[in-house]
Structure 1
Amino acid sequence: MTTQLLLIDALNLIRRIYAVDSNQSHHSEEHMIKASCARVAHACKKLRQQTNATHAIAVFDGERSWRYHYFEAYKSTRSPMPDTLKQNLSRFKQAIEDTGIVVFSPDNDEADDIIATLAYKAATNKVASTIVSTDKGFLPFLSEQIAIYDYFKKQYIEVEDIKQRFNVPKHRLADFWALAGDKTNDIPGVKGIGNKSAQQLINDYESIEAAINDDELNPTLKRKLSSEMEMFVISKNLVMLRTDINLGFSLKQLRLN
């Protein structure tokens, strides 16, 4: 049987399902949590079957990743997890484990970096994987070996979808976000450069360095880039997912029963 690795961004899945259930009329909070856990478990079972997974893992976020230490404002305005959900996370983890899928909660690393590392290492060893998440940070990893699936839209992401959404090539997404910023994660980007200017720079130049060194570049854009290169580098480091996390477990340990 061909090895197929299923990588679930656990909180991405749980928080969206919980958000829907918490807005429904339930007899009690307990009833709502039970319903949410059941829906999460159902989603995991469906994903196992749909992807023909032979190995699977659902990854949660650690407490505070390196990004919080690297850049103080990282995710500073993001709404905290609802208390009811936070207090019942162990029940969601158990619901996932009951489907046969391994649950992993790192001490400090973000789930995105763990998943990116797993997908990258699997692809290096010619093992196909499917990342289940709506997080755009995974998009640069889309390849023949790495698929990305949006459970809520019920569709796989294609390269053309990325081009239509961002109007830049897939391999330049990190440059695009580092220029234009990412408000959802409080990543500033280059002051004074929005989506259109970022798209123009990326589509006209092979690199940001090439743009700065072009004497014909619009003087205003050149000045913004030159004065904000440090923030560009910081932002790019923040948006790029790591693929070198020390995992402490092997693919064999993720085999499904």
Structure 2
Amino acid sequence: MSKTLVLIDALNLVRRIFAIESNQENITSVNNTAQRVSSAAIKLLRLTSASHAVAVFDGNESWRYHYYDKYKATRKPMPATLSENMQIIEQSFEQCGIPVYKPEHDEADDIIATLATKAATANVNVVIISTDKGFLPHLTQNIRLYDYFQKTWIDKEQVEIKFGVNQNQLTELWAMAGDKTNDIPGIAGIGLKTAQKLLGEYGKFEFILNSNSLKPSEKKKIQTGIDDFIKSKNLVTLRTDIHLGFNLQDLRIKR
């Protein structure tokens, strides 16, 4: 029997469910969210025929915040009612038989990318539950992405249609054009369309940088923005080498 590991980007799921609550300052909103999270988790386990699963939360102040002090600087903080009662949400996962993992400092995205990569290497089927585009570069035959809210599977063809580049060019696209949702700068003056065009013509940033056929204005922006490109690419690239301290057996669903 093949194994299927479901990796839930917990706060990505929870915060979107919590957002529909009209009165977010009342503990009732947390209890309602916990019930909806539990219902979502059960549906996802059935949909994927999961044998193993884990709900991964964010740790505090990951390495990205120290590497770049403006990282996610404009993002709204989690509502206090939710953050102060997160144990209720955690219990909603655990009551469905899904273990919860809370790293000390690492971001959920890096933990999930690490787990997905290791599991896929061991021929385990992996399903990531998230709306975060950062996982898209990691899609393979064994690693799939499911958007619970749109009820859709995301594949390579959809990636290319949506972003206008090949899957293996995504991190360089975001490093060039920046990512406003996470306050990642990119190269000043190089927007999304220009980045798409240049990557379409040259394939890789290295080839763009070394080209003698760029417009003078583009050449100047590219050369001036090398440091920002490197910084941005480091920020948008998910780590797959984090030491976790547990194995697949620890993530077996407790029916």
TM-score normalised by length of structure 1:
0.97
The residue number in structure 1 matching 2:129 is 132
1:209 has 2:206 as partner: yes
1:161 Cα offset (Å): 1.2
Query: What is the CA-CA distance between 1:206 and the residue it aligns to?
Result: 2.4
1:23 matched residue in structure 2: 22
Equivalent of 1:142 in 139, 142, 147: 139
Please tell me whether residue 118 in structure 1 is matched to residue 106 in structure 2. no
1:90-109 alignment runs, 5 A limit? 90-109=87-106
Matched, 1:45 2:60: no
Amino acid in the other structure paired with 1:161: Q
* Greater Cα shift, 100-109 or 216-225: 216-225
Return the alpha-carbon distance in structure 1 between the equivalents of residues 150 and 185 of structure 2.
Answer: 29
Q: Select 2:225's aligned residue among 223, 228, 246.
A: 228
Q: Secondary structure at the match of 2:46?
A: helix
Q: Distance in 2 between matches of 1:206 and 1:86?
A: 43
Q: Specify the alignment match of 1:237 in structure 2.
A: 234
1:57 and 2:54 matched: yes
Secondary structure at the counterpart of residue 113 of structure 1? helix
CA distance in 2, matches of 1:230, 1:138: 24
Q: CA RMSD in A?
A: 1.2
Where does residue 12 of structure 2 map in the other structure? 12
Stretches of structure 1 lacking an aligned partner (at least 5 in a row):
none
Q: Is the 8 A contact 2:27 2:81 kept in 1?
A: no
Q: What is the CA-CA distance between 1:123 and the residue it aligns to? A: 1.1
Report the secondary structure of 1:50's partner residue.
Answer: helix
Instruction: Name 1:2's counterpart in structure 2.
Output: 2
User: 1:229 deviation in Å?
Assistant: 0.3
| CA deviations over 1:60-99 (Å, ceiling 9, x no partner) | 0000100001011100111000011111111000111010
Matched residues, percent identical? 51
Does the 8 A contact of 2:164 with 2:196 survive in 1? yes
Runs ≥4 residues deviating over 3 A:
none
Matched, 1:74 2:71: yes
Match of 1:170 in 2: 167
Offset at 1:31?
2.6
Once the 2 structures are TM-superposed, how far is the Cα of residue 245 of structure 1 from its aligned partner? 0.5
Distance 1:173 1:106 in 2: 27
Query: How far apart are 1:29 and its partner, in Å?
Result: 2.0
Aligned residue number for residue 250 of structure 1: 247
Single out whichever of 218-227 and 58-67 deviates more from structure 2: 218-227
The whole-number CA distance in structure 2 between the counterparts of 1:189 and 1:29 is: 39
1:190 aligns with 2:180: no
What's the secondary structure of 1:238's corresponding residue? helix
Q: Could you tell me how far apart the structure 2 residues matched to 1:116 and 1:223 are?
A: 35
